[in-house]
Structure 1
Amino acid sequence: MRVVVAPDKFKGSLTAVEVAGHVRAGLRAVAPAADVVALPVADGGDGTVDVALAAGFDGVQVTAAGPTGEPVTTRWARRGDLAIVEMATVCGLMRLPDGGPDPLRATSVGLGEAVGAALAAGCTRIVLGIGGSAGTDGGAGMLTALGAVVLDADARPLRPGGAALAAAASLDLSGLDPRLADVEIVVACDVDNPLCGPSGAAAVYGPQKGATGADVATLDAALGHWADLVAEATGSDHRDDAGAGAAGGVSFAACAVLGATLRPGIDIVLDLLRFAEQLAGADLVVTGEGALDEQTLAGKAPAGVAAAARAAGVPVVAVTGHTTLSPDRLAAAGIERAYALTDIEPDVSRCIAEAGPLLEELSRGLAADRLPQVAPG
């Protein structure tokens, strides 16, 4: 019996690597002869680099600017000429000092510095995981870190952050790192929001980053002005492209200026992990995340895993903290059954605090249902 365990994180409780480890331990406790392969996954947000490292990528340390300019130390992942750079761990919400939001001034400079480090290391393919961003600066910070020059009307360098874009008077791209011309950049993007307007970066995601109604109006107007400058400098206007509003507009800058392409995050990760090869000979796939709900079905990691497994003819079950999906909705996504921590522990606070041991207990029940209990040897 071969089982591929491919879960995402249980946000706030366990990383994807930890979830996979606990599930594997629970399965093996009941079915020690089973060949259980732990293959944690991510959707391009926080945890993507950890998943790559668990899959055998090398970790490369980098110090770059956090969302409010303070230096932070993190890692990007490398395999040959391929680099995986994760925005969340450089200038994402998790890097805000004391967790305090700064929606008008948070910057993407650190992401550009991390990309620069990958360029300096000789990487010619770069994947940007842009989930969990803290700012709404249209990717201006990222571009300046890579050599672009943005000046105000007095020919002074623009201050960091999205609000400052309203004062931008010129954009000079002639100083961009020349190595970018020979690099393929792919952005992990799972949304289709444009840069501006009622469904744009500021309106939809600004409040999640601490923006008030007035802040949203300020940021949206500033992004529109920034899009004008970028269109003038590049000769094309990408503000209305699907996905341009992802990560506070970082996606917009990556595509409009750096020539990046967008792909769903889980598709990128499954390719990096050579997931199709791992499914060869598998009898069961176990996926999951902290909450299985309608958002899960809109392209998040478990839905991507289930789709790939179903295409290969491998049955799928899921583990989760809790689920709001009916059996019919799960089946439509290719998931035969969801095993939830709340099925064995109704106290949600305990499910969060003791997720690891409870997940092993849950997985023992899963194994009793689905795996033959044959002793090794």
Structure 2
Amino acid sequence: MKMLFASDSFKGSLSSEQTIGLLTKAAKEVFIDCETVGVPVADGGEGTVDAVVQAENGELISCMVQGPLMNEVEARYGIFGGDEAIIEMSAASGLTLVPERRRNPMNTTTFGTGQLILDALNRGYRKLTIAIGGSATNDGGMGCIRALGVRFLDKDGCELKGYGRDLIKVRDIDISGIDPRIKDCNIVVMCDVNNPLCGKDGATWTFGAQKGATPEIQEQLEKGMCNYRDVIKKCFDIDCDTIKGAGAAGGLGAALSVFLKGKMKPGIDTVLDLISFDDRLKGVDLVITGEGRTDWQSCFGKVMQGVGIRAKTKGIPVFGLCGSLGKNALDICDYGIASLMTTVNSPMAIEDAMGNAEGLYYEGAIRMFRFIKAGIEIGKKV
């Protein structure tokens, strides 16, 4: 029997790669002669670059960029396949880079994300995948695009720096200085939300509060974002409110689409395509996936859903080994997951579960494989 292990990380406790090692050890104990293979996966959020680099034997590149507050930070992105690069905007412009007391999207910028793109261009990479979750920003992507040569001008023709507070000041956009190498790029934007740029479901009102914006600040940012949208429409005849995902990452989705011609694509599908997941399913009899917590949200672009759907199309059963189960967890079974098991073996505090994650995961894997083995034995008698 051949098994494929493709689990998400358990945030704060186990990496995707660690789950592969533990599943392999447990499988070999229960099924002595089984064949096992594993591939790290992620859904476009934290850990995506690491997962793709590990799966594709790529390399991590480090460079110094300007963070969300224009302070210098060290950020990493991945290169693989000879001509491809994968970037997480959160590495340069993420919320975790801003101390909680200083979180205010009026004062943050995506400039550093643009610097990561620029570094990849300088190294000769033209196939770029950009994951845009976890941002600290609400600048409409101005900072990112400014780093690539576009100028956002105020009423006096002076260039704006591209903070959230600059949205209301934009009167014109000069793209004559955009890096000419952009036109040779194929850019995919990993985005799992469909929010427009403006309005009650837009960037500011949906995501602004979690980035530190008070209702008063949100009101100011929304006015600025509407102004920014209108200037883009005037200059380029593009209505960003009609672009699905334009409001992602504080409007970075709009900027990557309008100025870089990036194509929006769900995160998990992008990752599975990048790591040639369908090819890895050839000859596989069973797939094991999982995540830290499974609930109704797992059915909206998460790892288990993506893995389950791909395996189901090939008639391969999938089992989920998860840290815990929440509301409507069994909804995931509609997407190719045969059943779910948890790693916890008794009621316990989350701190205890995370502190003993490795041992609990291994024991949970043993229990799961024993159930699977019993099912196989029953099947032989039917």
Contact in 2 for aligned 1:27/1:366 (Cα 8 Å): no
Q: CA deviation at 1:102?
A: 2.7
2: CA distance, partners of 1:30 / 1:334: 24
Aligned counterpart, 2:2: 2
Tell me if the contact between 2:295 and 2:329 (Cα under 8 Å) persists in the aligned partners. no
**TM alignment of 1:31-180, pairs within 5 A:** 31-55=31-55, 56-79=57-80, 80-97=82-99, 100-180=102-182
Q: TM-score, normalised by structure 2?
A: 0.92
**SS in structure 2 opposite 1:329?**
helix
Alpha-carbon contact 1:26-1:362 (below 8 Å) kept: no
Structure 2 counterpart of 1:33, one-letter code:
D
SS in 1 for 2:129: strand
Q: Return the offset for 1:345.
A: 4.9
Q: What whole-Å deviation, never above 9, does each CA across 1:58-85 have from its counterpart, x for those lacking one?
A: 2222221111111221221112111101
**Alignment-derived partner of residue 379 in structure 2:** none
Q: SS state of the match for residue 250, structure 1?
A: helix
1:294-328 deviations in whole A, cap 9, x for unaligned?
11101212101100011111101112121125575
Cα gap change, 1:14 to 1:69, in 2 (>3 Å): farther
The answer for the alignment partner of 1:375 in structure 2 is none
Distance 2:171 2:308 in 1: 48
Decide whether aligned partners of structure 1 residues 68 and 272 sit closer, same or farther in structure 2, where only a CA change above 3 A counts: same
Whether the 8 Å CA contact 2:344–2:364 is kept in 1: the answer is no
Q: Which has the higher mean CA deviation after the structures are superposed, 138-147 or 202-211? A: 202-211
**2-structure distance, mates of 1:225, 1:299:** 32
Instruction: Quote the residue 2:195 is aligned against.
Output: 193
8 A Cα contact 2:203 2:249, kept in partner? yes
Kept in 2, the 8 Å contact 1:196–1:240? The answer is: no
Q: 1:327 to 1:46 in 2, by over 3 A?
A: closer
Q: Distance in 2 between matches of 1:273 and 1:203?
A: 35
Q: Would the aligned equivalents of 1:287 and 1:318 in 2 still touch at CA under 8 Å?
A: yes
Give distance in 1, aligned partners of 2:7 and 2:256.
29
> 1:160 Cα shift?
3.7
AA matched with 1:187: V
Measured after TM superposition, the shift of residue 51 of structure 1 is 0.3
Q: Is the 1:46–1:89 Cα contact (8 Å) retained in structure 2?
A: no
Measured at CA, do residues 61 and 362 of structure 1 come closer, stay the same or move farther in structure 2, by a change above 3 Å? same
1:281 to 242, 261, 283: 283
Q: Which moved more, 1:354-363 or 1:267-276?
A: 354-363
Number of aligned residues: 372
Deviations 1:27-71 (A, max 9, x none): 334334322222121111111110012111222222211111112
Q: Matches of 2:326 and 2:160 in 1, distance apart? A: 46
Is contact 1:107–1:160 with CA below 8 Å preserved after alignment? yes
The separation in 2 between residues aligned to 1:330 and 1:135, in whole angstroms, is: 32
Contact 1:290 1:322 in 2 (8 A): yes
> Aligned to 1:342, what secondary structure does the other structure show?
coil
Give the whole-Å Cα distance in 2 for the aligned partners of 1:26 and 1:99: 45
Q: Deviations over 1:155-181 (max 9, x none)?
A: 333244212211122211110000001
CA contact (8 A) 1:66 1:110 kept: yes
Amino acid in structure 2 at the alignment position of 1:253: A
**CA-atom RMSD, angstroms?**
1.8
Partner Cα distance (1:275, 1:57) in 2: 16
Structure 2, unpaired ranges of 5+: 375-382
Instruction: Give the equivalent residue in structure 1 for 2:378.
Output: none
| Mapped contact 2:150–2:175 kept (Cα < 8 A) | yes
Q: Secondary structure at the match of 1:336?
A: strand
